[in-house]
Amino acid sequence: MLEKSLGLMFYLKRPRNYQGGPMYIYLKVTVDGVSKDLSVKRSWEPSRWNSMGNCANSNKGDAKALNEYLDVLQNKTYDARKHLIDRGKVVTALAIVELLSGTEERKRMLLALFEAHNEDLKKMIGKGVAKGTYTNFMSSYKHTSMFIRSKYKADDLNIRSLDLAFVKNLYKWYRTYRNLNHNSALKNIANMKKVVLDCVDNGWLVADPFAKFDMTREDVDTIYLDKEEIQRIASKPISNERISKVRDLFIFCCFTGLSFIDVKQLKRSEVMLTHNGELRIYKNRQKTGTPAIIPLLPIALIILDKYKADVECFAKDMLLPVLSNQKYNSYLKEIADICHIDKGLTSKIARNSFATTITLANNVPIETISKMMGHKTIKQTQHYAKVLAIKVTEDMDLLKKKLQKDNFISGNQILNASDVKEVD
């Protein structure tokens, strides 16, 4: 890049239908024979212009001031070339002119970059990106835009103006003005921070301006149903047909770990027989696109069989009669009331119950649970292991019985060992 030729020339540009008077001064930047013009925002009389020297032809004060300004602009042009070289960028006439005119800086506005990032996400929906992910990023974009207008009275901010104070103010705005909890505030900030880190990777920022901001999230209590509560819901006589269908759907989720949207999108082709005649669900999770493999337990098979001839399911090519999410949640509240359960029933609670009460508490290996739930990493599944304190007690009881059965170091051995005297 150092070998690229750079030519500079100031000239007066004759406008259309010119009839006399001052002309605008332009800078022609040429790199390897390719030129790009830039207005220097000044005008000058042609009679006082030295076309050979590319400068004002006079010793008067105004001419001297103009020539000094052109010298400064010339130095900035060389600085722009150096800037591109230092950052490993291709030196072109267009790249130099964009740096000089501030076009490059305008491209590096936070909200403009955020919007471009989200547009790329939108194009990837269904190709490794879930629609929910795009929706979350769009929500964070709108929040960030509102914050900038509220706090800075501006439509956008240059990324170079971002600092620790900015993110601290943004966090406080989320917690107070938007009334979000700690984790929700951090989730929105993390979405915005991804755009900032892209700027760091592109060399537009030297370092992450939010590096010293604590992004640690608070532990959230995992709500799930115990065996008695699941049994109470499953065995409760319900005369209302719609509520009964919602109950069946909820129990199905408890025994498969599927989310509401995954059950709603469940296709017949995603339930297949294995080589040993076992039915399994093979499905990519809508939220993450991660594949989940779920062997169907007897209760889940009974529920599927119950609706295999359902007219509504058959017409919509659905395995289960899934209502809208709004109606589903509304009926779940009724189910909680009639079953005397003081937990707000949601599809998330059904999924949590599968991970804890149905599988983990029954000694299903955590690696298997992770695969069935479609988690990207086992760390996500380990979260459920933390909530089962009773599981620790049960495991230790099993270990105690095993050690006693194997007669591994009895109490008498310890007591007798303490009575033995050392022999010289």
Q: Are 39 and 24 in contact (CB under 8 A)?
A: yes
pLDDT at 1: 42
For the residues of 251-290, what is the DSSP string, one character each?
A: HHHHTT---HHHHHT--GGGEEE-TTS-EEEEEE-TTT--
Q: Amino acid letter at 74?
A: Q
Reading the block at residue 85, the tokens are 């070289």
Long-range CB contact pairs, 124-132, < 8 A, 24+ = 128/289, 129/289, 130/286, 130/287, 130/288, 130/289, 131/286, 132/286, 132/287
Please state, as a whole number, how many other Cβ atoms lie within 10 Å of the Cβ of residue 381. Answer: 20
CA dihedral 166, 167, 173, 178 (to 10 degrees): 140
Q: In what order do the strands lie in the sheet with 23-31?
A: 6-13, 23-31, 34-44
pTM comes to 0.59
b/e map of 97-128 (b: 16 or more CB within 10 Å)?
Answer: bbbbeeebeeeebbbbbbbebbeebeeeeeee
Backbone torsions φ then ψ of 369, nearest 5 degrees: -60, -40
Q: What is d(CA 141, CA 34) in angstroms, rounded to the nearest whole number?
A: 39
Q: What is d(CA 383, CA 313) in angstroms, rounded to the nearest whole number?
A: 35
Look at residue 412 and give its three-state secondary structure.
helix
CA dihedral 316, 319, 321, 327 (to 10 degrees): -100
Q: How far is CA 157 from the centre of its chain?
A: 21
Q: Are 40 and 70 in contact (CB under 8 A)?
A: yes
Averages of pLDDT over each 10 residues, the chain, 424 residues: 75 87 92 90 91 86 92 92 82 85 72 94 84 90 95 90 93 95 95 93 85 88 88 92 92 91 85 81 76 88 88 80 87 93 89 90 87 84 69 74 73 57 53
pLDDT at 71: 93
